[in-house]
Amino acid sequence: MRVYSFADSATFAARIAKLGALAHQRLDEHAFPDGESLVRAPAVVAPEALLVRTLDRPNAKLVEILLAADALRRAGAESVTLLAPYLPYMRQDAVFAAGDPLSQQVVGGLLAASFDAVFTVEAHLHRTRRLSRIAGRRSRSLSAAEPIRRWVARHARGAFLVGPDVESTPWIRAIAGAELPYAVGYKSRRGDRSVEIDLPTLPPGDRAVIVDDIASSGATLATAAELLRRRGVTHIDAVVVHAIFSPGAEETIRSAGVARIVSSDTIAHPTNAFSVAPVIAAALLDTPGWNLRRRGE
C-alpha cells in the first residue's frame, strides 16, 4: 500500500505514512479558469492506494476526491481506500422537513461507488450507527475517545466531563471510563447559531471539560459554558475532535468563559493539541488483507 494525498492534507498523510512505514506521494492539482478541477495521479501507482484528504469546506473537495479515485485506478490501483479524518454531510441522517434531501445517503452513496472503503474519525452518526451501512461494508468510523481521555488526564486533572447532547452519551461514557465523572445534557437546536441545553445535576467540583465532536458556530460550547458558570464552575475547558470554527466562533466560546479550546488534528487549526493519526494507523494495521508493514512498496 502507498499513501496519496492532496496538498492540504499532506501533513496528516505524512503522519499516517510514517506510522505505517509507507511511502507517501502528493497528487498534482490544477484549477481551470472556470473553476473545474484536474487531479492527476503519478504515472504508476501501487496496487493498494490509500487516499488521504480531510473534507472540511467539502463541496469542491468531494468532487476532487472522486476524480482522484478514478485517476488512481486508471494508473493501476486495484483498490482505493479513502481516509477522510473529517467526513461531512453525516449529520443529516433523516428528512427533517418536507423537501429536504437525505444528505447522508447521497454523499455516502457517492463514496461507496468510488472507494473500496472509507475510514474517518467520529462521523457524527446517530440514527445510522455504522458507517459501513452508508459508505460500503469495509468502511469504519473510528473513535477519538482514547486520545481525548489522555489529554484530559494530562492537562485537566480533577475535572469532570460534560457532554452537551444526550445523543453523545455512549461516547462521553467511553471517554470517561471508570475514572472520570461526567454529566450529559439535553440539547435542542433552534437554528445554525442558537441552541438550548438543559443540564442535569453535575458531579461535585469547580472544574469541567466540555467535550463535543464538532465545533462550527461555537453556539453549543458557549451555551454549555454559560450554564456551567451559573452552576458555580469556575474553570472550563473545551475539547473538540473536528475544529471547523466558522468566523467568530472562537471568540464566542471564549467570551462565554472557556479558558482553553483544544482540538484534534483531523482539521489543521491553531487549537490542535492531540493527534488521532495513531488511532487510524492502528485500525489500518488490523484491517484483514492489508499488509501495511510491507516496506518500500
Q: Are 121 and 211 in the same domain? A: no
Confidence of residue 187 (pLDDT cuts 50, 70, 90): confident
Taking only the tens place, the pLDDT of each residue in 207-230 is 999 999 999 999 999 999 999 999
Mean pLDDT, rounded, for 109-132 = 90
- The overall average pLDDT reported for the chain is 91
* Residues 125/126/128/130 CA torsion (nearest 10 deg): 50
CB 217 within 8 A of CB 192: yes
* Residues 37/42/46/52 CA torsion (nearest 10 deg): -40
SS3 230: helix
C-alpha–C-alpha distance, residues 79 and 118, integer Å: 12
Confidence of residue 189 (pLDDT cuts 50, 70, 90): confident
Q: Is the pLDDT of residue 172 over 80?
A: yes
Q: Given this model, what pLDDT does residue 289 score?
A: 58
Beta bridge partners of 31: 37
**Which residue range is the domain that position 81 belongs to?**
2-143+276-285
Confidence of residue 296 (pLDDT cuts 50, 70, 90): very low
The amino acid at residue 249 is A
Query: Residue 292 domain-assigned?
Result: no
Q: Are 134 and 173 in the same domain? A: no
Which candidate, 148, 275, 290, places its Cα nearest to that of 213? Answer: 148
Q: Are 19 and 131 in the same domain? A: yes
Helix axes 58-74, 103-114, angle to 10 degrees: 20
Query: Residue 113 domain-assigned?
Result: yes
Q: Given this model, what pLDDT does residue 19 score?
A: 94
Q: Are 183 and 62 in the same domain? A: no
C-alpha–C-alpha distance, residues 206 and 150, integer Å: 20
Which candidate, 5, 1, 3, places its Cα nearest to that of 268? Answer: 5
Q: Is the pLDDT of residue 180 over 90?
A: yes
Cα separation of the two ends of the chain: 7
Q: Are 136 and 183 in the same domain? A: no
Q: Are 112 and 8 in the same domain? A: yes
Long-range residue pairs from 57-66, CB within 8 A, at least 24 positions apart, any chain = 58/88, 58/89, 61/6, 62/88, 62/107, 62/110, 63/37, 64/6, 64/29, 64/37, 64/39, 65/114, 66/110, 66/114
Q: Given this model, what pLDDT does residue 294 score?
A: 41
Q: Are 249 and 138 in the same domain? A: no
pTM recorded for the entire structure:
0.91
Q: Given this model, what pLDDT does residue 191 score?
A: 61
CB 132 within 8 A of CB 139: yes
Q: Are 121 and 13 in the same domain? A: yes
Mean pLDDT, rounded, for 241-258 = 96
Q: Which three cell numbers stand for residue 21?
A: 512505514
Q: Are 12 and 130 in the same domain? A: yes
Confidence of residue 292 (pLDDT cuts 50, 70, 90): very low
Query: Residue 290 domain-assigned?
Result: no
Place of cell 445554525: 192
Taking only the tens place, the pLDDT of each residue in 55-95 is 999 999 999 999 999 999 999 999 999 999 999 998 877 78
Q: Are 162 and 107 in the same domain? A: no
Q: Are 27 and 119 in the same domain? A: yes
Query: Residue 295 domain-assigned?
Result: no
Q: Are 156 and 131 in the same domain? A: no
Task: CATH number of the domain at 111, please.
Answer: 3.40.50.2020
Phi and psi based region of residue 171 (left: phi greater than 0; alpha: psi -120 to 50; beta: remaining): alpha
CB 181 within 8 A of CB 161: yes
Domain count, the chain: 2
Q: How many other C-beta atoms lie within 10 A of the C-beta of residue 185? A: 21
Mean pLDDT, rounded, for 16-22 = 94
